[in-house]
Structure 1
Amino acid sequence: MILALTIAIVAGTMLGSLLYGKRQARAQTVTEWAVGGRRMGTLIFWFLNAGEIYTTFAVLGISGYAWAYGAPAYLAFCSVSLAAAIGYWLTPLIWAAGRDNGLITQADFFDLRYGSRALSVVVAVAGIAALVIYVQIQLTALSVILQLSLGRPVSMMASTIVAALLMLTFVFFAGLRSAAFAAGVKDVLMLVIVVALSATVADKVGATSIIDLLHRAETAHPGLTSLPGLQPEAGLDTTWLITAALNVALGTYIFPHMFQLCYAARDSWTIKRNAIFQPLYSLSFFFIILLGFGALLAQVQPPGGDLNAALLQFVADSYPAWAVGVLAGTACLLALVPGSVLLLAAGSIFSRNVLLPLRPGMGEKGALIASRAATVGFAGIAVYLTLGGSRSLVDIGLMAYSSIGMLAPGVFLAFLWPRTNAAGVAAGLAVGYAVLLLPGLDGFWAYFPNWEKGLVAMAANALTLAVVVMATTRRAVRATG
């Protein structure tokens, strides 16, 4: 029953998405495929944009973090609300730039603003790298869900490859409009499931109410509900929470696929309404964290101690098979829909900002074929990364946010500081990535105990950018004087 329900939910949603996308407009150009013809209204934009936050990272990752660490899962509350506040200001500006200049990708924006094709190629490669890391989250979650749905031991390699094929099937034949339809289906299903599970979780663990469940969980696991949580040695204290939340919030709308979602909106008010109501999504994290605490109180033991599987294992142990099937099918959509948008964005960036400069005569049809073909390669890289590690979905997500955060100074200062130039952005990127990635910096990080490394690297990036811009613009003024 579990496998049948999983297949029915996934297949039904994918079929409906493809039919919806085909009825709206056949994706014969990169513009239609990648940004939905720039015609998305408030409702469909809401599900696609806000739904990009409601992914396996949010549901399986945060519930698993609550099960393993406790209070550090509160990161979800902080980051979503902060991101919405930043998005209210930033995303209409991105939308206007896209509309006025016919932009399709994030690298297009950098090329337009800074007038440097070389910088736009660097930005394109950096954006693709961050997207591939984020696809890894979805493949990791999908492989866990598939193993549960099949009900028997399946190798990590087999389940990951099947997950990648499912994702490629969707993205290859769909486009942004098809993904928007699927996002609406999975958001509605997931909200219903989370609320239903939360309404019954107390009874499943022998508590009389949600409040009683929280009291019992804290009594059984002292320190669960306050920082630094169950594992103080992990360094997930107040400093980590603040810096990690800021890093996620500053990086949320810097991801290349979020640029393309902004370009797809019908008008600026579509985007602003989304930002105003988006913090409501953060309320659902209370229920997700509650379920993680419930799994801990129920002494759930997911296979191999995999915290990403804690919620799925709890439901499998405590609820009937049909409930497990509905959760598994919906969780598949949580991975497939965002994963398809991520691969779609990566493919369009590759064809437009990496391949097109090398083949300037490539037409729209050729660009579309190249975009779709590139997604296969990027999915393959994501599979390789997934098989090479078994980290928490939250940890992988924070790594992706740290990577894409290196582009944040160049985006924010593009609107805030007219003097910002390509030389400054390039220098900032070099220093930021060096701080983030170079080994042998233990002495440096000792000055920032428990800080989220991505935020420190972003600050170094911004400082370098400012210094270089001030130096180069002063020299330019003297030269013309």
Structure 2
Amino acid sequence: MTMQWTATYVFVGLFAFVTIMGFAAARWRAGDLNHINEWGLGGQRFGTMVTWFLLGGDLYTAYTFIAVPALVFTAGAIGFFAVPYTILVYPLVFLIFPRMWSVAKRHGFVTASDFVKGRYGHHGLALAVAITGIVATMPYIALQLVGLETVIGALGFDTHGAMGHMPLIIAFVILAAFTYSSGLRAPAMIAIVKDLLIYITVIAAVVIIPAKLGGYAAIFAAVPAERLTLATPPAGSMGAWSAYATLAFGSALALFLYPHSMTGVLSASSGHVIRRNAAILPAYSIVLALLSLLGYMAYASGVATKPEFIEGFAKYGPNFAVPALFLDQFHGWFVGVAFAAIGIGALVPAAIMSIAIANLFTRNIYKEYIRPDCTSEDEARMAKLVSLVAKAGALFFVLALDTRLAIQLQLLGGIWIIQTLPAVFFGLYTRWLDPRALLVGWAVGIGTGTWMAWTLNFKGSIWPLEIFGYTVPGYAAFFTVILNIVVAVVLTLILKAVSKTVHSDVTVATDYA
């Protein structure tokens, strides 16, 4: 591909700017970074606007910027499932997470696994939640690097071989360094720049590109009619309708169970900050809806058939649709701005995800099972080291393995992480469920969800459920968490009838106020 020098200069300049911000963040709202609460949660002092930018930067990632329009580009309307799911999730945040913040603040909980251990007094269940969070998040970091690599390739860099991987390795080293030194403060500060760049990019794209392509009417006219709406279900099946609905609802249930989402929430300064954010975060859903339209714009512009982009599509597949669209429609300097938004959009969530993994491993594995007598300084030091290992593992995925493996594992990640829902969400409201029953339900959900993905050859997550000869295609995560809940409830009834074992609960009702 042709080297895009103007775009590269702008991209590198903005990247250098946020790198400086990342290191400077260590002195922002200064605290003792030798304590995990300060390093991993920013001292829980982030107000409404910082939390808004942090959660926006955390949830709307580089891979979202590339993958959602790519899905619309290839599959059409079903790609818009991401819009209602980000709308559905915020009422859940409003209702549930102020309670989580309150109990975590009072007991010094840093992770969801901390809460599960305190609430249920069951080490096995807490360990299951911790391991699930770590395993589900690792490939998510890798996908951020996949998005970054796509942008680097679109700038004209040869991403083959050792030298070709050098820009990505440099970006990784920068990410690792400022995360190690500044903790959560770094992505919180950088998220402000990242989100502003994304808003500028998306607003410019949805105004300028349609004007160049003849307006939205011309864009929609160029897209095949079957891609503009969900297909009418065939006889004996709910078809794309149930797939769309369960994808949206299941994804909404799973999103804030991810450790990086939990970390963003727990870093807030109060429950009121979380409620205010639940009210204003839907502004990102508007951006996501506009962003999704880029898939149709890419289709209408015909970038997939233009000679200068054939190599990019051959290497990166439909994920190249958005970079190709910007290269085709904008001047080089604005391409640099747009690509920087995507690139920085990889750094922010990757940093938060690695911090979340570090918090889980250090608190719920290292301190719990390996070194119970570690000091707070030892705990923070281990968390910093684990954050480096997490990013190195993600880099290994991208450089040494087929990136499709990361995509497949991320699909599994959504199915796995939702299995922690009964223990975490229900535990915030009731202690009725038996932790042993929750652990069995978790195992059944994990096993069944993995089996479903295996039957689909790990190429998708829509599983055709047969009910009395009627087919209901749906998100495997949604089906399996229902099975998980049923198993947990039934086993709880049985265990309460036959067992006298009482598990401790360190929380009291006033902790959740």
Which ranges of structure 1 fall in alignment gaps of 5 or more residues? 230-234
Say if 2:264 is the partner of 1:251: no
Please name the residue that 1:462 is paired with. 485
Give matches, 1:135-146, under 5 Å: 135-146=141-152
Q: Which letter does structure 1 place at the counterpart of 2:487? A: T
Say if 2:108 is the partner of 1:102: yes
- Aligned pair in 2 of structure 1 residues 379, 228: CA closer, same or farther (>3 Å)? farther
Q: 1:303 aligns with which of 296, 302, 313?
A: 313
Which range moved further: 383-392 or 425-434?
Answer: 383-392
Say if 2:26 is the partner of 1:16: no
Q: Deviation at 1:317? A: 2.1
Q: Which letter does structure 1 place at the counterpart of 2:473? A: N
Please name the residue that 1:359 is paired with. 371
Q: Which letter does structure 1 place at the counterpart of 2:178? A: F
Q: Deviation at 1:104? A: 0.9
SS in 1 for 2:402: coil
- Aligned pair in 2 of structure 1 residues 188, 346: CA closer, same or farther (>3 Å)? same
* Distance in 1 of aligned mates of 2:156 and 2:365: 40
Which range moved further: 170-179 or 186-195?
Answer: 170-179
Which range moved further: 29-38 or 143-152?
Answer: 143-152
Please name the residue that 1:347 is paired with. 358
* Distance in 1 of aligned mates of 2:169 and 2:465: 40
* Distance in 2 of aligned mates of 1:157 and 1:90: 42
Q: 2:7 aligns with which of 2, 9, 29?
A: 2
- Aligned pair in 2 of structure 1 residues 356, 308: CA closer, same or farther (>3 Å)? same
* Distance in 2 of aligned mates of 1:477 and 1:116: 15
Q: 2:57 aligns with which of 35, 43, 51?
A: 51
- Say if 1:50 and 1:274, in contact at 8 Å, map to a contact too: no
Which range moved further: 239-248 or 376-385?
Answer: 376-385
Give the superposed CA RMSD: 2.5
Say if 2:439 is the partner of 1:426: yes
Which ranges of structure 2 fall in alignment gaps of 5 or more residues? 1-5, 233-237, 305-311, 457-462, 503-513
Please name the residue that 2:451 is paired with. 438
* Distance in 2 of aligned mates of 1:258 and 1:284: 19
Please name the residue that 1:195 is paired with. 203
Q: Which letter does structure 1 place at the counterpart of 2:479? A: V
Please name the residue that 1:35 is paired with. 41
CA offset digits 1:255-310 (Å, max 9, x no partner): 12222222211111100011112222111123212221111111112431611221
- Say if 1:6 and 1:328, in contact at 8 Å, map to a contact too: yes
SS in 2 for 1:360: coil
Please name the residue that 2:225 is paired with. 222
Q: 1:183 aligns with which of 181, 191, 198?
A: 191
TM-score by length of 2: 0.85
- Aligned pair in 2 of structure 1 residues 409, 222: CA closer, same or farther (>3 Å)? same
SS in 1 for 2:70: helix
SS in 1 for 2:432: coil
Please name the residue that 1:382 is paired with. 394
Give matches, 1:69-108, under 5 Å: 69-108=75-114
* Distance in 1 of aligned mates of 2:454 and 2:145: 31
Q: Deviation at 1:82? A: 0.6
- Say if 1:239 and 1:450, in contact at 8 Å, map to a contact too: yes
Q: Which letter does structure 1 place at the counterpart of 2:190? A: A
SS in 2 for 1:450: strand
Q: Which letter does structure 2 place at the counterpart of 1:375? A: S
CA offset digits 1:190-215 (Å, max 9, x no partner): 0011101111112333x1x223322x
Q: Deviation at 1:123? A: 1.5
Q: Which letter does structure 2 place at the counterpart of 1:437? A: T
Which range moved further: 266-275 or 437-446?
Answer: 437-446
Which range moved further: 291-300 or 381-390?
Answer: 381-390
Give matches, 1:323-334, under 5 Å: 323-334=334-345
Q: Deviation at 1:401? A: 1.9
Please name the residue that 2:460 is paired with. none
* Distance in 1 of aligned mates of 2:170 and 2:230: 38
- Say if 1:30 and 1:368, in contact at 8 Å, map to a contact too: yes
Q: Deviation at 1:445? A: 5.1
Q: Which letter does structure 1 place at the counterpart of 2:134? A: I
Q: Deviation at 1:22? A: 1.4
- Aligned pair in 2 of structure 1 residues 284, 396: CA closer, same or farther (>3 Å)? farther
Q: Deviation at 1:449? A: 4.5
- Aligned pair in 2 of structure 1 residues 309, 165: CA closer, same or farther (>3 Å)? farther
CA offset digits 1:430-467 (Å, max 9, x no partner): 10111011379859955265211111111111111111
CA offset digits 1:62-115 (Å, max 9, x no partner): 111111111011111111011111111111011011111111112111111111
Q: 2:498 aligns with which of 454, 461, 475?
A: 475
* Distance in 1 of aligned mates of 2:208 and 2:391: 38
Q: Which letter does structure 2 place at the counterpart of 1:170? A: F
Q: 2:413 aligns with which of 379, 394, 400?
A: 400
- Say if 1:55 and 1:334, in contact at 8 Å, map to a contact too: yes
- Say if 1:166 and 1:336, in contact at 8 Å, map to a contact too: no
Please name the residue that 2:176 is paired with. 168
SS in 1 for 2:227: coil
Q: Which letter does structure 2 place at the counterpart of 1:57? A: Y
Please name the residue that 2:330 is paired with. 319
Q: Deviation at 1:159? A: 5.8
- Aligned pair in 2 of structure 1 residues 159, 259: CA closer, same or farther (>3 Å)? same
Q: Which letter does structure 2 place at the counterpart of 1:368? A: A
Please name the residue that 2:473 is paired with. 450
Please name the residue that 1:232 is paired with. none
Say if 2:146 is the partner of 1:130: no
Please name the residue that 2:459 is paired with. none
- Aligned pair in 2 of structure 1 residues 266, 446: CA closer, same or farther (>3 Å)? closer
Say if 2:70 is the partner of 1:67: no
- Say if 2:34 and 2:381, in contact at 8 Å, map to a contact too: no
Q: 2:126 aligns with which of 110, 116, 120?
A: 120
Percentage identity across paired residues of the two chains: 22
- Aligned pair in 2 of structure 1 residues 76, 429: CA closer, same or farther (>3 Å)? same
Aligned length: 469
* Distance in 1 of aligned mates of 2:140 and 2:344: 15
SS in 1 for 2:226: coil
- Aligned pair in 2 of structure 1 residues 441, 316: CA closer, same or farther (>3 Å)? closer
* Distance in 2 of aligned mates of 1:396 and 1:361: 35
CA offset digits 1:169-191 (Å, max 9, x no partner): 33222211221111111111100
* Distance in 2 of aligned mates of 1:332 and 1:38: 27
- Aligned pair in 2 of structure 1 residues 327, 441: CA closer, same or farther (>3 Å)? closer
- Aligned pair in 2 of structure 1 residues 393, 347: CA closer, same or farther (>3 Å)? closer
Say if 2:382 is the partner of 1:370: yes
- Aligned pair in 2 of structure 1 residues 15, 163: CA closer, same or farther (>3 Å)? closer
- Aligned pair in 2 of structure 1 residues 287, 396: CA closer, same or farther (>3 Å)? farther
